[in-house]
């Protein structure tokens, strides 16, 4: 005779397994639904947060007279140290494009501007991401190119540090780092510091290796890239050559640097 019982301890093994599986499935469905609801909730919050962050980033704030957006950084004296420009901003005759990254001195005047797009610097068109430099008196002093570029017929090297390329007030080049060996007014020039080619003197020249120009655009000083005779005078590669404003060799000229 079969004995009926409701005591779970005496249920057949198959019945126990079926009940266990059923309970597990129900719990899994509950957890799955909770996870889905939580996922949807987090997604909605993130969407709202991102929308607010984007709106907040693009919101303009005038800080110490400078139009800024996004994250800003301050010095310990609460003076603005770095910001992204929310619109074009002009200082000392140079218009910094909107979106440019501006660094400032503790005094509050510009120090470096990394331009967001092509911009005119004293009549020279600088490529995006180039840097325009200022001194502590708020005067622009020079620039670094983000990529090598031919300006006024001279191929200028790209650089991110060191002495900047300089321009005369009339927009003519004043002193630049040459991107490669090139001929300027018939003179083979270079700014290379390769001591294996030009000797140890190239290392000691420092900024004298730059190509210098007068306000009239004429070559003033350069480092010779190969042995050559100019105006009846022989020069060895690695030597410096100087000219007067009329283009004549000046052996007694004070070296530029």
Domain boundary among 147, 181, 202: 147
In total, how many domains does the chain have?
Answer: 2
* Separation CA 77–CA 67 (nearest Å): 20
Length of the chain: 257
pLDDT > 90? residue 58: no
* Separation CA 238–CA 235 (nearest Å): 9
The answer to whether residues 206 and 106 belong to one domain is: no
Tokens representing 120?
Answer: 């005119």
**Mean pLDDT on 182-202:** 90
**Mean pLDDT on 228-256:** 93
* Separation CA 239–CA 202 (nearest Å): 9
pLDDT at 56: 53
The answer to whether residues 156 and 250 belong to one domain is: yes
DSSP state of 245: T
Q: What is the pLDDT confidence band of residue 52, given thresholds at 50, 70 and 90?
A: very low
pLDDT at 53: 42
32, 59 contact by CB (below 8 A)? no
Is the residue at 23 inside a domain?
no
Is the residue at 36 inside a domain?
no
Helix or strand holding residue 25 (H, E) = helix 13-57
* Separation CA 208–CA 188 (nearest Å): 15
Q: Which of 21-25, 59-63, 130-134 has the lowest mean pLDDT?
A: 21-25
Tokens representing 207?
Answer: 């900024």
* Separation CA 109–CA 63 (nearest Å): 13
Is the residue at 111 inside a domain?
yes
209, 193 contact by CB (below 8 A)? yes
Task: Give the C-alpha distances (Å, rounded to integers) separating 241 from 6, 96, 151.
Answer: 111, 37, 22
Tokens representing 3?
Answer: 């004995």
Q: Which of residues 137 and 27 earns the better pLDDT score?
A: 137
Q: What is the pLDDT confidence band of residue 24, given thresholds at 50, 70 and 90?
A: low
**Mean pLDDT on 1-7:** 50
Q: What is the pLDDT confidence band of residue 195, given thresholds at 50, 70 and 90?
A: confident
Domain boundary among 83, 116, 147: 147
pLDDT at 193: 87
Is the residue at 156 inside a domain?
yes
The answer to whether residues 111 and 176 belong to one domain is: no
Is the residue at 256 inside a domain?
yes
Domain boundary among 108, 123, 147: 147
**Mean pLDDT on 200-223:** 92
The answer to whether residues 87 and 160 belong to one domain is: no
The answer to whether residues 141 and 200 belong to one domain is: no
Is the residue at 21 inside a domain?
no
pLDDT at 160: 72
The answer to whether residues 251 and 207 belong to one domain is: yes
pLDDT at 256: 87
Tokens representing 21?
Answer: 């599986």
The answer to whether residues 66 and 101 belong to one domain is: yes
The answer to whether residues 140 and 155 belong to one domain is: no
Residue among 55, 73, 71, 125 nearest 97 (CA): 125
Is the residue at 158 inside a domain?
yes
The answer to whether residues 164 and 252 belong to one domain is: yes
Residue among 154, 180, 151, 176 nearest 166 (CA): 176
Q: What percent of the chain has pLDDT over 90?
A: 63
Question: What is the chain's mean pLDDT, rounded?
Answer: 84
What pTM, to 2 d.p., does this model score?
0.74
Residue among 222, 215, 216 nearest 255 (CA): 222
The answer to whether residues 211 and 134 belong to one domain is: no
The residue segments making up the domain with residue 177 are: 149-257
Q: What percent of the chain has pLDDT over 70?
A: 78
pLDDT at 26: 58
The answer to whether residues 122 and 169 belong to one domain is: no
Q: What is the pLDDT confidence band of residue 248, given thresholds at 50, 70 and 90?
A: very high
Is the residue at 6 inside a domain?
no
pLDDT at 208: 93
């Amino acid at each position: 005779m079969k004995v009926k019982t409701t005591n779970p301890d005496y249920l057949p093994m198959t019945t126990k397994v079926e009940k266990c599986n059923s309970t597990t499935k129900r719990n899994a469905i509950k957890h799955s639904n909770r996870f889905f609801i939580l996922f949807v909730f987090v997604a909605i919050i993130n969407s709202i947060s991102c929308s607010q962050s984007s709106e907040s980033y693009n919101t303009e704030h005038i800080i110490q007279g400078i139009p800024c957006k996004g994250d800003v950084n301050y010095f310990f004296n609460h003076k603005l140290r770095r910001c992204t420009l929310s619109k074009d901003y002009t200082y000392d005759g140079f218009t910094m494009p909107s979106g440019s990254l501006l660094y400032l001195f503790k005094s509050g005047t510009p120090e470096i501007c990394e331009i967001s797009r092509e911009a005119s610097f004293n009549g020279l068109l600088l490529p995006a991401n180039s840097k325009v430099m200022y001194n502590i008196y708020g005067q622009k002093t020079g620039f670094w190119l983000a990529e090598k570029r031919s300006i006024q017929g001279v191929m200028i090297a790209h650089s991110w540090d060191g002495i900047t390329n300089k321009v005369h007030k009339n927009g003519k080049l004043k002193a630049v780092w040459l991107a490669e060996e090139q001929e300027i007014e018939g003179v083979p020039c270079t700014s290379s510091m390769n001591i294996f080619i030009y000797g140890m003197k190239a290392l000691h020249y420092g900024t004298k290796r730059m190509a210098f120009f007068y306000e009239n655009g004429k070559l003033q000083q350069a480092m010779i890239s190969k042995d050559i005779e100019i105006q009846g005078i022989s020069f060895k590669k690695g030597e410096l050559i100087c000219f007067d404003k009329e283009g004549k060799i000046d052996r007694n000229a004070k070296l530029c640097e």
